[in-house]
């Protein structure tokens, strides 16, 4: 088995994927044509060439512009189905998938249209590929808390199909505390919570996500390294971090993969997991993320096993479901 085959075939979970960030340039063009939306690019190559980012915001500007081609239920279905096909090809057994409804409702698209398209693709992927999945509604933190509250209200009729809410978009200047009331209401309604924190923002934002938003996981969280007390807490409570290595390099969170701190965090005993974030924009799905860190950081087979096992442990699946998937992983490792 080649390395490439190993990383594709090892059974895994993905816990940090923005479905809108899986929009490949080819589909962006096709949907633009289908919906008569003019893109500021002449070709797929030109789109790929534009993906040179200096920081999170320079990426987000293109990410929100790219979303404009998503108009109909079928568009959301096609986007999600393409991701699930890719996930199946990389033996993702379970995915917890972010979507950004405010990025679409602000363009006049109904919550129902977005949800129906995405959810239908997830149900079909369960049937066809046996991949289980959960949806996580992300609030856009550059918008107001009132706007987030409105998105939460819109989601209530779909509560049974959206087990958790999260927080994404421009981090610095938009701390978790801004959304405390929204997250209080979400938890009261039975949603679990997660939040992007400590990607570009300081460790204090990670503390706020834990103490004010009651999160079960931190998305990114790599800047916890600057706060020894926080490291101790994350280790003791085994609060998972959904780390996205290729994203961190593309958005200049680290200068190079050799300087990424994921191996250090793993060795310290944190529950770190590997994920793709926005695979179309950052140049790789979850298997490529695993393979890149393996070679840049000299990871052992045991390190890879631990990272992948953590990914199942950190899901919102039941204890029994986790055990079943970890048994499948153990069987693969013994082959
Ligand atoms: O990595 C990210 N960080 C914050 N917001 C995002 N929205 C999509 N991807 C990201
Ligand atoms: Zn993200």
Q: Using one digit for the tens of pLDDT, what is the confidence trace for 289-312? A: 999 999 999 999 999 999 999 999
What does the pLDDT read at residue 47? Answer: 94
251 C-alpha vs ligand 2 centroid, how far in Å? 11
Question: Does the annotation flag 196 for ligand binding?
Answer: yes
Q: pLDDT tens-digit profile of 215-229?
A: 999 999 999 999 999
| pLDDT (mean) for 119-129 | 98
Q: Percent of the chain scored above 70 by pLDDT?
A: 100
**101's tokens:** 């409804």
Q: pLDDT tens-digit profile of 222-281?
A: 999 999 999 999 999 999 999 999 999 999 999 999 999 999 999 999 999 999 999 999
Which ligand is the nearest neighbour of the Cα of 246?
1
Ligand 1 pocket check: which of 166, 276, 278, 283 to mutate, most ligand atoms within 8 Å of Cβ?
Answer: 278
Question: Does the annotation flag 277 for ligand binding?
Answer: yes
Position in ligand 1 atom list of the atom nearest CA 247: 1
199 in catalytic set: yes
Which residue has tokens 């953590």?
A: 310
Alpha carbon distance, N-terminus to C-terminus of the chain: 11
153 C-alpha vs ligand 2 centroid, how far in Å? 23
Q: pLDDT tens-digit profile of 27-52?
A: 999 999 999 999 999 999 999 999 99
Give residues with Cβ within 8 angstroms of 87, minimum separation 6: 14, 95, 125, 129, 131, 285, 286
**Atom 4 (ligand 1) nearest CA:** 169
Which ligand is the nearest neighbour of the Cα of 100?
1
Task: Please determine, looking at this structure, whether the domain spanning 3-334 carries the CATH number 3.30.160.20.
Answer: no
Ligand 1 pocket check: which of 59, 138, 143, 201 to mutate, most ligand atoms within 8 Å of Cβ?
Answer: 59
How far apart CA 335 and CA 330 sit, in angstroms, is: 9
Nearest CA to 135 among 305, 276, 19, 291? 19
**Atom 7 (ligand 1) nearest CA:** 169
What does the pLDDT read at residue 21? Answer: 98
Position in ligand 1 atom list of the atom nearest CA 244: 1
Crossing angle between the packed helical segments 145-155 and 111-129, to the nearest 10 degrees:
60
Q: Which residues form the pocket of ligand 1, taking CB atoms under 6 Å from any ligand atom?
A: 18, 21, 56, 63, 168-169, 196, 199, 247, 277-278
Q: pLDDT tens-digit profile of 180-196?
A: 999 999 999 999 999 99
- Could you tell me the residue ranges of all domains in the chain? 3-334
**Atom 5 (ligand 1) nearest CA:** 169
How far apart CA 235 and CA 229 sit, in angstroms, is: 10
How far apart CA 108 and CA 71 sit, in angstroms, is: 9
165 C-alpha vs ligand 1 centroid, how far in Å? 14
How far apart CA 227 and CA 189 sit, in angstroms, is: 33
- Reported ipTM: 0.96
Taking 3-state DSSP, the helix, strand and coil percentages for the chain, each rounded to the nearest 5, stand at: 60, 15, 30
Question: Does the annotation flag 18 for ligand binding?
Answer: yes
Which ligand is the nearest neighbour of the Cα of 64?
1
Report whether 138 contacts 98 (CB < 8 A).
yes
Please provide the average confidence, as pLDDT, over all residues in the chain.
98
Catalytic residue among 199, 200, 208, 292: 199
Question: Does the annotation flag 278 for ligand binding?
Answer: yes
Burial environment of residue 127 by CB neighbours within 10 A (0 to 12, 13 to 18, 19 or more): exposed
What does the pLDDT read at residue 286? Answer: 98
Report whether 18 contacts 274 (CB < 8 A).
no
Give the H/E segment covering residue 332: helix 319-334
Q: pLDDT tens-digit profile of 48-77?
A: 999 999 999 999 999 999 999 999 999 999
How far apart CA 8 and CA 11 sit, in angstroms, is: 8
How far apart CA 8 and CA 332 sit, in angstroms, is: 12
* φ, ψ of residue 87 in degrees (nearest 5): -60, -40
Nearest CA to 70 among 133, 119, 27? 27
335 C-alpha vs ligand 2 centroid, how far in Å? 33
187 C-alpha vs ligand 1 centroid, how far in Å? 22
């Amino acid at each position: 088995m080649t390395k490439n085959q190993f990383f594709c075939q090892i059974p895994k979970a993905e816990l940090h994927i923005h479905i809108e960030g899986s929009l490949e340039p080819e589909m962006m063009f096709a949907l633009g044509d289908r919906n008569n939306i003019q893109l500021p690019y002449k070709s797929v190559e030109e789109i790929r060439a534009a993906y040179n980012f200096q920081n999170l915001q320079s990426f987000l500007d293109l990410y929100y512009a790219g979303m404009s081609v998503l108009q109909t239920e079928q568009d959301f279905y096609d986007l999600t189905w393409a991701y699930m096909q890719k996930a199946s090809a990389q033996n993702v057994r379970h995915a917890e998938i972010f979507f950004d409804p405010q990025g679409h409702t602000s363009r006049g698209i109904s919550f129902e249209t977005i949800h129906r398209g995405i959810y239908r693709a997830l149900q079909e992927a369960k049937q066809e590929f046996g991949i289980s999945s959960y949806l996580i509604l992300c609030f856009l933190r550059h918008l107001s808390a009132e706007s987030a509250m409105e998105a939460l209200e819109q989601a209530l009729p779909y509560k049974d199909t959206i087990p958790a809410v999260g927080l994404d978009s421009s981090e610095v200047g938009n701390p978790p505390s801004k959304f405390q009331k929204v997250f209080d209401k979400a938890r009261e309604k039975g949603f679990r919570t997660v939040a992007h924190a400590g990607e570009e923002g300081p460790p204090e934002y990670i503390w706020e996500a834990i103490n004010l938003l009651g999160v079960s996981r931190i998305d990114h969280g790599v800047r916890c390294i600057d706060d020894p007390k926080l490291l101790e807490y994350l280790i003791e409570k085994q609060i998972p971090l959904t780390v996205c290595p290729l994203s961190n390099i593309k958005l200049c969170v680290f200068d190079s993969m050799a300087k990424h701190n994921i191996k250090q965090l793993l060795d310290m005993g944190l529950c770190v997991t590997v994920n793709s974030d926005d695979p179309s924009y950052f140049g790789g799905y979850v298997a490529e993320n695993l393979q890149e860190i393996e070679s840049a950081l000299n990871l052992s087979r045991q390190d890879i096993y631990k990272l992948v096992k953590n990914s199942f442990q950190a899901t919102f699946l039941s204890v029994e479901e986790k055990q079943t998937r970890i048994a499948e992983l153990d069987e693969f490792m013994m082959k």
